[in-house]
Amino acid sequence: MKKNGEKDSERINFHEGHRERVRKRILADPELKSFSPHEVLEFLLFYAVPRKDTNELAHKLIHAFGSLSAVFDADIEDLIAFPGLPETAAYLIKSILPITDAYLRDSKAENAALNTYSEVRYYVDHSGMSLDPKQEYVGAIFLDINGRVRNSAKISTGDGTSATVNIPVLYRLSAACKASKVIIFHNHPGDNMYPSMNDLAATCVVIITLASLGITVTDHIIRGDANRYFSFYMNDLLEDLIELCSPFINIDKYLSERRPLFNDDMANSVILNEADSAELKEEIRKMFSNEKIKSYMDDAIRRFEAERKEKKK
């Protein structure tokens, strides 16, 4: 109610600049320690309820649901039905907890130290890189010297049978985050977990490319169905491939800087039988003669040149 002699303009001016003052309080107190529960909710509602006093609405919501946390935990139907609360505000309130959860998962993932196969498998499963199990893709996890995650990304996507490593993208991302180690992984839709000749050749090109940046390949992991995985390192293939690349890298330095993962997940690890292992190792020995690596290197160079030309446009 208006007091005697009070003008409408004076009553309106009482709230003028209120939202800006609250925003400045947020900047001064980012942990919201000086904010009461209704003030926290009031601030949030600024962004869904324009040109209206959200203080009273915040009070009503907390009174109706019992607490600030109960407002965030409320069913979306109850929020939409709440008198005076716009539907956009209801959805904003309901999005806070999922957004917070996503932030915490991402924050934890970025600082995670990956030293075991179960940790790598968990990271890949929760990183958002593993999407369509029917489509083959290649991803990479970029680590510092202590195995902490610097970055991770999907490098390329193929079809249901194959995917090619995008070497320029891998090179650029590795350099950008100053990685010391990289774990390459890709999936094999279906039951076949064994690496193909393309997988072996691509791994060699990755080893050579990243060695030019002083980065070692910790492992190349093939993911399959039902949490099964094939490790190049555990099957003694990675060291063979590194030796194959010895004309192009400082192999002694490379091997001394490489830190393998600890295998704490044998139950899900696919290990080659003796005959298949011997066959793959023989194929590795033939790789230079069958031009596979040369073909991959030529393709990588073409991609680099194409990117360079595109940037100059």
208-252 pLDDT, tens digit each? 989 989 999 999 999 887 778 899 999 989 999 998 888 888 888
Residue 16 has pLDDT above 50, yes or no: yes
Contact between 170 and 300 (Cβ < 8 Å):
no
| Residue 156, φ and ψ in degrees, nearest 5 | -160, 160
Q: What crossing angle do the helices spanning 37-45 and 18-28 adopt, rounded to 10°? A: 120
The pLDDT assigned to 14 comes to 43
Task: Report the pLDDT value the prediction gives residue 218, as an integer from 0 to 100.
Answer: 93
> Looking at residue 253, what is its pLDDT?
85
Q: Regarding predicted confidence, which is higher, 168 or 16?
A: 168
Average pLDDT over residues 108-129: 77
Give, for 231, the enclosing helix (H) or strand (E).
Answer: strand 229-231
Q: What is the mean pLDDT of residues 129-144?
A: 79
The CA distances from residue 111 to 172, 218, 262, in Å, are 21, 18, 19
Farthest-apart Cα atoms in the chain, separation: 99
Q: Residue 109 has what pLDDT?
A: 59
- The percent of residues above 90 in pLDDT, for the chain, comes to 31
pLDDT at 159 over 50: yes
Q: pLDDT per residue over 81-92, tens digit each?
A: 999 999 999 999
Q: Helix (H, G, I), strand (E, B), or coil: what is residue 137? A: strand
What is the model's pLDDT at position 146? 87
Supply the pLDDT for residue 104: 65
Average pLDDT over residues 149-178: 83
The answer to whether residue 105 scores a pLDDT higher than 90 is no
Cα atoms in the 13 Å half-sphere on the side-chain side of 87: 1
Give the span between the Cα atoms of 310 and 155, in whole angstroms: 19
Tell me the three state secondary structure of residue 232.
coil
Structure tokens at 220: 């190349």
Helix (H) or strand (E) holding 129: none
pLDDT at residue 163, rounded to an integer: 66
- Sign of torsion, CA 152 153 155 159? positive
What's the mean per-residue pLDDT of the chain?
Answer: 82
| d(C-alpha 280, C-alpha 286), whole Å | 10
Give alpha helix (H) positions in the chain. Answer: 8-13, 18-28, 37-45, 54-65, 68-73, 76-80, 87-110, 117-126, 167-176, 197-211, 238-244, 251-257, 274-286, 292-312
**DSSP result, 31-60:** T-TT--HHHHHHHHHTTTSTTS-HHHHHHH
168 — pLDDT class (breaks 50, 70, 90): confident
Residue pLDDT, tens place only, 193-215: 888 888 888 898 899 989 989 99
Q: How far is CA 133 from CA 11, 138, 272, 305, 312, in A?
A: 62, 12, 23, 32, 37
User: Which residue type is seen at 21?
Assistant: R
Worst-scoring range by mean pLDDT, 34-43, 175-184, 201-210, 218-227?
Answer: 218-227
186 forms beta bridges with 138, 222
Has residue 8 got a pLDDT over 50?
no
* 12 vs 114, residue with greater confidence: 114
The H-or-E segment that residue 218 falls in is strand 216-223
pLDDT of residue 235: 92
Under DSSP, the state recorded for 14 is: T
**287 or 144, greater pLDDT:** 144
* Per-residue pLDDT at 84: 92
Cβ neighbors of 260 (< 8 A, separation 6 or more) are 218, 219, 233
Lowest mean per-residue pLDDT among 4-13, 85-94, 154-163: 4-13
